[in-house]
Amino acid sequence: MDINKLEIVEIDETPPALELRPEEIEALADELANYHAEFADLYYRSEQAHWGYKYLQGLMLPIEQKTIQPMAMALEGGNIQAMQQFVGQGRWQDQKLLQKHWQLADETLGEDDAVYVVDESGFPKKGEHSVGVARQWCGVLGKVENCQVGVFGAYVSRHGYTLVDHCLFLPEEWFDDDHRERWEKCGIPEGTTFKTKPELALERLQAVVAHGALRFQWVTCDETYGRSPDFLDGVAGLGRWYFAEVPHNTHVWQTRPQTAVPEWSGRGRRPTKERLLPGEPKSKRVDAIAASLRPEEWQPFLIKEGSKGPMVAQFAFLHGVAVRDELPGADVWIVFRRGLSKDADLKVYLCNAPFDTPRTALVRMAGLRWPVETAIEEAKGGLGMDHYEVRSWLGWHHHMTECLLAHHFLVRCQERLKRGPLH
């Protein structure tokens, strides 16, 4: 296929990457103090606020290992024991800091049609005593390995991106009797129940929406969450539009089938549930639908996806009906994406946006998953997100909250630097 002969639609709304240089970060000490002052009153005690500031400072340091001991030793006035207590046992509520973070993130990046991206990330661990650690899929390593897994939310707009939420996934085995002692040592709150990753993501998304500070219309996710009808319906119930990658074996209808409550025969219980009427078409797998598309139904688009640069991909768009308990659910877009070759990998998305939504907007959503992965990489590579040595429930969530604040601080500074020098 000759790309030069194709009529390609260009999608150029890629948010800017975080590109602050080390020397620029070192010059932001005063700005960091001003930023932390936004959160100081949300700690219970002034000494907690003090060590919160020190912890943020430590995450900004140009040192190789950002665990507590090297951070404390590199900081003026650093205290290893005090910092350990602050992050590992301190009874400050990171939820309050997150809510303030949502407000500030909206002030920096906010748009009405912004995107909330759901993703997870693994944190490899050698031992078995850290909260939530187990042999499970670790995306960082690309295999099942001993690790912790966090579910994260990122905020993406045309102005940039930043991480805005987090929660720790507790594998189901952590709820058996063999883990009771570790449960207590890690300080997992009583009443905590097992939740799947989609359940955790929806619960956190509901909290963000209920708070009301962070504006967004779209929610995007990969197959882990796209295969969960409860997650997708929950997003729709919040008045948001999901754009979710789904497995190839996902079933849909291309037209809405007719249903009715069967007539009562006079025997047994009177029917109350709707069923498909006789002769109505069965739902189809999305990959089977893709295979039946004609060449002219595919349209090429040029997408600028972060560090990958410009990419050309073909898209096809159909209207369909989601399947819910073998019955028709909501009207959805069925969006297909593949490379230019016929044997290129196929991706399929379902989306509940209105049918008058421009196709360019749908293509834009397909290219906006990278910011959450990039933000996590930036937080791990530059801010010590994966350097922690705390084992407790509080410690994990406290550390992650501070890393989210640190990442947004850099994003905010970069955005403000575009308008001139910081004072």
Tens-digit pLDDT profile for residues 29-48: 889 999 999 999 999 999 99
- How high is the mean pLDDT of the chain? 91
Q: Is the pLDDT of residue 5 over 60?
A: no
Is 114 within 8 Å of 155 (Cβ atoms)?
yes
Helix 393-417 with 46-60: angle, nearest 10 deg: 60
- Indicate the SS3 state at residue 137: strand
Strands 115-124 and 218-221: parallel
- Amino acid (1-letter code) at residue 13: E
Q: Is the pLDDT of residue 420 over 80?
A: no
Average pLDDT over residues 68-83: 94
What residues form DSSP beta bridges with 276? 259
pLDDT in tens, 270-323: 877 888 898 899 999 999 999 999 999 999 988 877 666 677 889 999 999 999
pLDDT in tens, 182-191: 999 999 999 9
What residues form DSSP beta bridges with 115? 156, 218
pLDDT in tens, 226-238: 999 999 999 999 9
State pTM to two decimals. Answer: 0.93
Q: How far apart are CA 412 and CA 162, in angstroms?
A: 9
Owner of token pair 């948001």: 240
Q: How far apart are CA 29 and CA 297, in angstroms?
A: 55
Strands (E), 247-383: 251-253, 259-260, 275-276, 284-285, 299-304, 310-324, 327-338, 346-351
Extract the tokens encoding 254: 């291309």
Tell me which DSSP letter residue 91 carries: -
Confidence band, pLDDT 50/70/90 cuts, at residue 421 = low
Q: Which residues of 309-321 are buried (b: 16+ CB within 10 A; e: fewer)?
A: eeeebbbbbbebb
pLDDT in tens, 43-69: 999 999 999 999 999 999 989 999 999
What residues form DSSP beta bridges with 275? 260
Nearest to 349 by CA among 233, 234, 250, 236: 250
The torsion defined by the Cα of 245, 12, 339 and 223, in degrees rounded to 10, comes to -10
Q: How far apart are CA 165 and CA 219, in angstroms?
A: 14
Query: Which carries the bigger pLDDT value, residue 342 or residue 80?
Result: 80
Burial tier of 112 (Cβ tally within 10 Å: 0-12, 13-18, 19+): exposed
